[in-house]
């Protein structure tokens, strides 16, 4: 490929949401193009009118944009971003189809779907691989149908499709970048429909023509398209075009090694976005589904720029890659740990405002929505949350009064004298000159030591009263962030409500 600028494409059909497998295909095409200093293009394959879903195209494009996979060409008219649309290129396909008919590489077929079905049943009964029986292959092309019959049918206006004529004895060979050399026997190849009766091309036909005309150098797509290769290669041969290079990506698998399916979890990228996963974690996770940097490389957290720098098709494996949600969760945590606090606040402030609009709050609203307060909460909790929204939900006690106290924890931590101890400690907190983590810690230790008690006797009950739960960040820091007033109010309220075991 010396001297040729690398061009790759992502070519989704607008039949629904963007599947995680689709995002991986798009990402690998993007990474490879960027790495090689080439172009990444989006082409919408919307020639199957029956499978077209309203809004799917916009949805796909929105998700790709969200992932940061910005294409290099926006051919749509009107200035807005828009990809290539196959439905706008029907005349081009029709022209190439005429050429195949003229050259004797394609023929009209008037078989009805009932006939095709019958034929398929028969072949299956005979233990044969179902294939079109070539009833309409004209005599001039080695078949049995007289040309006059075809002409008559055409004149009568009967519906037809156009099929490619697969040469009888030819072996089709190509070298896949990921899988190495692969050979197909023409006896196994069907006379593929190229033009459907509605005048639209099939995927196979339109995709080969466009891949050639749009000058793609590398076709990177899912393994499920591997069986289509002989048909595609024959079309390149018919037109005398040099095929691009191909890389077929491994399947995505459920943890039980079955093909990734909705039944075992979400497969739409959107579902993961809605759950709160971030762009960085999803893109990073998807990149690792089939690619790694190689033996001895321990790195797992990669930014998009780093991926561009390190990615190579040679390091994509053949074996199916298992979609492990734990890995995605782990990555999400890594990103939350590193993310600038201002960015996190940007996401959580609207979530908090929303909660505040519908829930009673005894704290000062201005304080708890301030940058200063939210920064403290974020820094204290970032090691503990799994998602950004959990800064509000999982740490809700920083914003709302606990509504209950973890029952099991109360049972375990409350002794006969716990409330008494708390009552004695209250004035210490009330009068503490410096209500900081260090100040509170020193005061608590100074309070328990002369009594011969362990700090834990107070630490656990204080945590439960202040937060409602038995786990969380450092107690002293949590109390400092909450502030004296809230802490005292919560201790008093809890002492009123929690009864001492008999
Ligand atoms: N439209 C096909 C799909 O939906 C594209 C396959 C290809 O990349 O050639 O997956």
Residue 417's CATH number: 1.10.10.350
Over 80: is that where the pLDDT of 80 sits? no
> What is the model's pLDDT at position 187?
81
For atom 2 of ligand 1, the residue with the nearest CA is 12
207 falls within a domain: no
Q: What is the mean pLDDT of residues 139-156?
A: 96
Spacing, Cα 380 to ligand 1 middle (Å):
46
Lowest mean pLDDT among 20-24, 75-79, 112-116, 338-342: 75-79
Higher pLDDT, 2 or 78: 2
Domain total in the chain:
4
* Shared-domain flag, residues 382 and 323: no
How would you classify the pairing of strands 252-253 and 84-85? unpaired
Tell me what pLDDT residue 79 has. Answer: 47
> What average pLDDT score do residues 242-247 get?
98
User: Does 418 share its domain with 390?
Assistant: no
Ligand 1, atom 5: closest residue by C-alpha: 11
**Candidates 62, 259, 262, 415; catalytic one:** 262
In a domain, 239, yes or no: no
Range of the domain at 393: 339-398
Q: Provide the token pair at 69.
A: 């996979």
Q: Which two tokens stand for residue 451?
A: 């009594």
For residue 210, name the pLDDT band (cuts at 50, 70, 90).
very high
Question: Does residue 74 register a pLDDT over 80?
Answer: no
Question: Would you call 131 a catalytic residue per the annotation?
Answer: no
Q: Is the pLDDT of residue 267 over 90?
A: yes
Question: What is the model's pLDDT at position 76?
Answer: 60
Rounded distance, CA 32 to CA 323, Å?
Answer: 22
Residue 392 has pLDDT above 70, yes or no: yes
Name the residue of 11, 17, 21, 218 to mutate for ligand 1: max ligand atoms within 8 A of Cβ: 11
Tell me which residues have their CB closer than 6 angstroms to ligand 1.
11-13, 45, 203, 207, 221, 225
pLDDT of residue 82: 67
Residues 43 and 110 in one domain: no
Q: What is the side-by-side order of every strand in the sheet holding 106-109?
A: 106-109, 161-164, 193-195
Crossing angle of helices 371-381 and 475-482, in 10° steps, is 170
Among the atoms of ligand 1, which is closest to the Cα of residue 25?
8
Residues 71 and 107 in one domain: no
CATH number of the structural domain spanning residue 389? 1.10.8
> pLDDT > 90: what percent of the chain?
88
Domain check: are 334 and 344 in the same one?
A: no
**Distance from C-alpha of 82 to C-alpha of 256, rounded to nearest angstrom:** 39
Query: Quick one: 392 and 479 in the same domain?
Result: no
Same domain, 117 and 162: yes
DSSP β-ladder status, 84-85 and 39-44: parallel
Q: Is residue 123 located within the same domain as residue 190?
A: yes
């Amino acid at each position: 490929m010396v001297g040729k600028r690398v061009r790759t494409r992502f070519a989704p059909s607008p039949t629904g949401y963007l599947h995680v497998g689709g995002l991986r295909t798009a990402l690998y095409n993007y990474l490879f193009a960027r790495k090689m200093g080439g172009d990444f293009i989006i082409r919408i394959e919307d020639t199957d009118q029956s499978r077209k879903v309203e809004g799917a195209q916009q949805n796909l494009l929105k998700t790709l944009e969200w992932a940061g996979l910005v294409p290099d060409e926006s051919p749509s008219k009107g200035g807005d971003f828009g990809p290539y649309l196959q439905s706008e290129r029907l005349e081009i396909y029709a022209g190439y189809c005429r050429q195949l008919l003229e050259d004797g590489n394609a023929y009209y077929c008037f078989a009805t779907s009932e006939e095709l079905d019958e034929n398929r049943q028969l072949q299956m009964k005979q233990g044969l691989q179902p294939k079109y029986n070539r009833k309409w292959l004209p005599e001039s092309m080695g078949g049995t149908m007289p040309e006059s019959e075809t002409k008559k049918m055409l004149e009568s206006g009967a519906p037809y499709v156009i099929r490619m004529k697969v040469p009888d004895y030819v072996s089709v060979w190509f070298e896949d970048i990921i899988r190495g050399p692969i050979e197909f026997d023409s006896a196994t190849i069907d006379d593929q429909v190229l033009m459907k009766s509605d005048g639209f091309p099939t995927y196979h036909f339109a995709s080969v023509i466009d891949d050639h005309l749009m000058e793609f150098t590398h076709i990177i797509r899912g393994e499920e398209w591997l069986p289509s290769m002989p048909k595609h290669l024959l079309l390149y041969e018919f037109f005398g075009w040099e095929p691009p290079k191909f890389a077929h990506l491994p399947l995505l698998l459920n943890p039980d090694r079955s093909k990734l399916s909705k039944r075992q979890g979400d497969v739409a990228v959107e579902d993961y976005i809605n759950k709160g996963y971030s762009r960085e974690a999803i893109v990073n996770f998807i990149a690792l589904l089939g690619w790694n940097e190689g033996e001895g490389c321990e790195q797992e957290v990669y930014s998009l720029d780093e991926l561009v720098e390190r990615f190579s098709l040679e390091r994509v494996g053949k074996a199916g890659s298992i979609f492990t949600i734990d890995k995605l969760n782990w990555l999400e945590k890594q990103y939350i740990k590193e993310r600038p606090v201002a960015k996190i606040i940007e996401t959580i402030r609207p979530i908090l405002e929303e909660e505040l609009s519908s829930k009673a709050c005894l704290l000062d609203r201005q304080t708890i929505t301030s940058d200063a307060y939210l920064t403290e909460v974020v820094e204290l909790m970032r090691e503990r949350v799994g998602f950004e929204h959990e800064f509000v939900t999982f740490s809700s006690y920083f914003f709302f009064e606990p509504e209950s106290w973890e029952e099991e924890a109360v049972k375990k931590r409350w002794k006969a004298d716990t409330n008494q101890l708390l009552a004695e400690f209250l004035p210490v907190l009330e009068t503490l000159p410096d209500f900081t983590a260090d100040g509170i810690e020193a005061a608590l230790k100074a309070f328990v030591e002369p009594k011969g008690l362990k700090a834990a006797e107070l630490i656990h009950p204080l945590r439960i009263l202040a937060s409602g739960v038995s786990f969380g960040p450092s107690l002293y820091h949590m109390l400092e962030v909450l502030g004296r007033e809230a802490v005292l109010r919560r201790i008093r309220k809890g002492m009123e409500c929690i009864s001492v075991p008999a």
